[in-house]
Amino acid sequence: MRIPVTILTGFLGAGKSTLVQHMLRASHGHRIAIIENEFGGENIDAELIAATVDERIVQLTNGCVCCSIRDDLHAALGELAAARASGRIAFDRVVIETTGLADPVPVAQTFFLDDDIARDYRPDAIITMVDGKFAMRQLDDRIEAQRQVGFADRLFLTKLDLVTGAERQTLSSRLSAMNNQARQVAVTFGEVALSEMFDIGGFDLIDVLELSADPYETSCPTCDDGHDCHKHGERKHRHDDIESFSFRSDRPLRGDRIAQLLNALVASYGDRLMRYKGVLHIADTDHKLILQGVHQLASYGYGAKWPPGEPRTSKLVFIGHDLPRVMLARSLEHCEV
């Protein structure tokens, strides 16, 4: 069975290291291998160390493993897998903590583009930590902070005790506009239930897709009637390059046209499409068509049958920058039967 991997990212000072240190010290029953880009031996309390497997991998008394390899991620994962296979260390999952300015995409793509890594590991989710005190300024000024939010499967909000309720709501609404698929979780001093971190299935083909309400709901610029639109969701903060666009339809879609559209989108706009997911009702089949993609890497296939009584509603969400929103909406409508 392949080892699940959680990618932990977030801008400088958001609290990643605090959360990792909590995992290293807590008695949680999980055997976790943690790869830290900026790891230093002084960060581990001496009493936690059970044994040194080699100069870069440290076994802790609570079952965790901390890997301090600083160079290539491929080498770090390969060395951990080899140590696990030989019985030198034992772990059940991996957490990769990126640097504060990192783009999480190359990390995630490692598990799809490298056959050796894909044999031993599977990505579970990208978790982004968001500094509740300074995130609004960071999102205004740094595209890295925006991309970390856009790629996230879950958002951990920290330092919320330092902001007012109104400031928290403003930030939450902005994050939802950028990525309406990532659930937001409040985290205090790095303490969070590990059930919020693990087995999220962010890269699995799942047949459930929840489209959150549009926090900036006004009239839809795609439509011409000036009324509130529940078919197209598209808003963004004036500073944000990253935005989410959602589409839903109660009419069945033509499979041939959807396939052509998806291929064209990936070929022409794959660099702009950060994450995209969909559960589609295709005409002439009782099975759901499930879509999942990261940039040009797209996977789709038929999943379970539509349950009796469940509305056969197609739902798609696209998260990216400079999205061709009007073209997307009209092209998807053209796929309707």
Residue 106: which CATH number? Answer: 3.40.50.300
Rounded Cα distance between 78 and 260, Å, is: 38
Q: Specify whether 154 is located in the same domain as 238.
A: no
Number of domains comprising the chain: 2
Last residue of a domain, one of 196, 211, 242: 196
Residue of 225, 245, 251 lying closest to 334 (CA atoms): 251
Question: Does residue 208 lie within any of the structural domains?
Answer: no
pLDDT along the chain (337 residues), means of 10: 94 91 84 73 46 55 65 83 91 90 86 90 96 96 94 97 97 95 94 92 82 44 43 65 93 95 92 92 96 89 93 95 91 96
Q: Specify whether 153 is located in the same domain as 269.
A: no
Residue of 307, 257, 248 lying closest to 280 (CA atoms): 248
Instruction: Mark residue 61 as left, alpha or beta (left: phi above 0; alpha: psi -120 to 50; beta: remaining).
Output: alpha
Q: Specify whether 239 is located in the same domain as 308.
A: yes
Q: Are 9 and 126 in contact (CB under 8 A)?
A: yes
Q: What is the CATH number of the domain that holds 263?
A: 3.30.1220.10
Question: Does residue 224 lie within any of the structural domains?
Answer: no
Residue of 20, 19, 9 lying closest to 147 (CA atoms): 9
**DSSP for residue 307:** P
**Domain region containing 176:** 3-196
Q: Specify whether 22 is located in the same domain as 169.
A: yes
Last residue of a domain, one of 147, 181, 196: 196
pLDDT given for residue 99 in this prediction: 82
pLDDT given for residue 51 in this prediction: 43
Query: At 82, which helix (H) or strand (E)?
Result: helix 73-85
- Going 84 to 91 to 202 to 21, the CA torsion angle's sign is negative
Q: Tell me the CA distances in angstroms from 87 to 53, 64, 231, 299, one per residue in order.
A: 11, 15, 53, 34
pLDDT given for residue 217 in this prediction: 36
pLDDT given for residue 244 in this prediction: 92
Residue of 315, 335, 131, 114 lying closest to 230 (CA atoms): 315
Last residue of a domain, one of 170, 196, 222: 196
Q: Specify whether 143 is located in the same domain as 245.
A: no
Query: Would you call 223 helix, strand, or coil by DSSP?
Result: coil
